[in-house]
A and B are shown apart, each in its own frame.
Chain A
Amino acid sequence: MAGPAYIADSPGAVTKVALDGLAVLFHEPSGMTHIVASPAPEILEALQEGPADLAEILRRLSEVFDVEPLPSMGRGWGGVDSATRSVPAAMPPPPQPSPIKGEGAFAEALAARLAELEAAGLVRRA
């Protein structure tokens, strides 16, 4: 699969604290805080091995996770940024597992999550 390669900051640049199944991330270079849900932390972890395109990220994730049952994160959960006060006053209900099946659909969901992480400044094009 051809496509852009992504890169993430080194682990020292991001502090992660798990809170109730979500993760709050402090991104040192920007000073911004993000609240993210799975699989965003896993994608960031997968990118610690080095730059990777979508197919390679998928391969790395599938080494650790069973791709099929991994739920989609749902739109709007990629890089919720409390620092810019865009966080809603109350938490929306947890996203439901996506009905999409199979690796192709998962790759599509993964691309959407990557786009969200890129918009949040947590990953960038290599």
Chain B
Amino acid sequence: MRHELALRIGPVAFRIGSAWRSPLDALARLYAGYPAPEDGLCDFTVRLEPERPWRRFIRPSVAIRGDYILPDAAPLSLAHGLLAAEMGMNLQMALGQRTWLLLHAATVEKDGRAIVMTGESGAGKSTLAALLGERGWRLMGDEFALLDIGSGALLPFPRAISLKNGAIGVMEAEVEAGRFGPRLAGTPKGDIRHLRPNAEAIARMDEGAKPALILFPRFGEAAAVRGVGQAEVFMRLTQASTNYVALGRRGFDALTDLVRNVPALAIDYPDTETAVGLIADFRRELAA
């Protein structure tokens, strides 16, 4: 490819190639301070290519390609090239990852105890994780939780946090401007702005943690907490996993172990501050 960038996020190394320079420049700024792959080898390759050869120059339209592709992935405008790179990295992980059980979940850690937050898109898990990451928790990841099949530990995957719409303002009030990517207006998911995790999250990206609590947050309701039965947790987590089926028996064993050993709660919350307060309460109970 004309332009290339290699970077490591937690245990996964990516090579991103692009027909244009601008998305990689934006990506390099966003991931400033992240290590390069140690041995130069990459687990996944993402390619940003013109949808048609002539469209590198005329109304450029970015198609996401890689080792694993979705045939109906829609091309994005070049102005959204950074989003294309991020989506490409997500896609390679979601479709190609076979080493860990992947859960579509955000994870934060404190005192060696990790809280896994999973839910539908819009449940607020990215915002919650981003906010907790600035309030004394370590952000392990906002998109994917990597469950180590042998040990049951969670591994960090601290990608840039993808903030959408209302969450952008919440975090702009909390974090210095230099850690944000450009505001991408009018993407298929609305407005998006990426946020680089803080220095602690990057420095400790090789340090796993034991899962201590599984949370199913739901934004926009009056504050409420309820326990969730193990069978329901199991079912929800199979739905939240992108590679459960591909892992076969290994995935089944890892997920049933997680569900049997880790308590789970569903929380409704009207605003992120309420959720942060609830989670601080849970932490005190876990530590007691």
Query: Which residues of A are interface residues toward B (Cβ below 8 A)?
Result: 15, 17, 19-22, 24, 26, 28, 31, 33, 35, 80, 82-83, 85, 87, 89-91
Q: Is the interface of A mostly helix, strand, loop or mixed?
A: mixed
- Closest chain A residue to B241 by CB distance? A82
A-B contact pairs, 28 of them (CB 8 A): A15-B249, A15-B252, A17-B252, A17-B260, A19-B229, A19-B231, A19-B234, A19-B256, A20-B230, A20-B231, A24-B231, A24-B234, A24-B252, A24-B256, A26-B249, A28-B249, A31-B245, A35-B234, A80-B235, A82-B244, A83-B238, A83-B244, A83-B245, A87-B239, A89-B239, A91-B229, A91-B232, A91-B235
| B252 engages A82 (CB within 8 Å) | no
| A20 engages B229 (CB within 8 Å) | yes
Instruction: Convert B259-275 into 0s and 1s, putting 1 for each residue whose CB lies closer than 8 angstroms to a CB of A.
Output: 11000000000000000
Chain B interface size, under 10 / 10 to 19 / 20 to 34 / 35 or more: 10 to 19
Closest Cβ of chain A to B101, distance in Å, is 13
A91 CA / B239 CA spacing, docked (Å): 13
In chain B between 203 and 251, which residues have their CB closer than 8 angstroms to a CB of chain A? 229-232, 234-236, 238-239, 244-245, 248-249
- Closest chain A residue to B230 by CB distance? A19
Query: Which residues of B are interface residues toward A (Cβ below 8 A)?
Result: 229-232, 234-236, 238-239, 244-245, 248-249, 252-253, 256, 259-260
| B252 engages A35 (CB within 8 Å) | no
A26 CA / B244 CA spacing, docked (Å): 12
Closest Cβ of chain B to A108, distance in Å, is 27
| B256 engages A17 (CB within 8 Å) | yes
A-B contact count (CB 8 A): 53
Closest Cβ of chain A to B169, distance in Å, is 29
Q: Assuming the A-B contacts A17-B260, A19-B259, A24-B256, are A87 and B230 also in contact, with contact meaning beta carbons closer than 8 angstroms in the complex?
A: no
Q: Assuming the A-B contacts A24-B256, A26-B252, are A35 and B245 also in contact, with contact meaning beta carbons closer than 8 angstroms in the complex?
A: no
Chain A neighbourhood of B244, CB < 8 A: 33, 82-83
- Apart from A17-B260, A82-B239, A91-B229, list 11 A-B contacts with CB within 8 A: A15-B252, A19-B256, A19-B259, A24-B252, A33-B238, A35-B235, A83-B238, A83-B245, A90-B232, A91-B231, A91-B235
Closest Cβ of chain A to B180, distance in Å, is 33
Closest Cβ of chain B to A71, distance in Å, is 17
Chain B neighbourhood of A17, CB < 8 A: 252, 256, 260
- Closest chain B residue to A19 by CB distance? B230
- Closest chain B residue to A32 by CB distance? B245
Closest Cβ of chain B to A73, distance in Å, is 14
A24 CA / B232 CA spacing, docked (Å): 11
A89 CA / B252 CA spacing, docked (Å): 19
Chain A neighbourhood of B236, CB < 8 A: 89
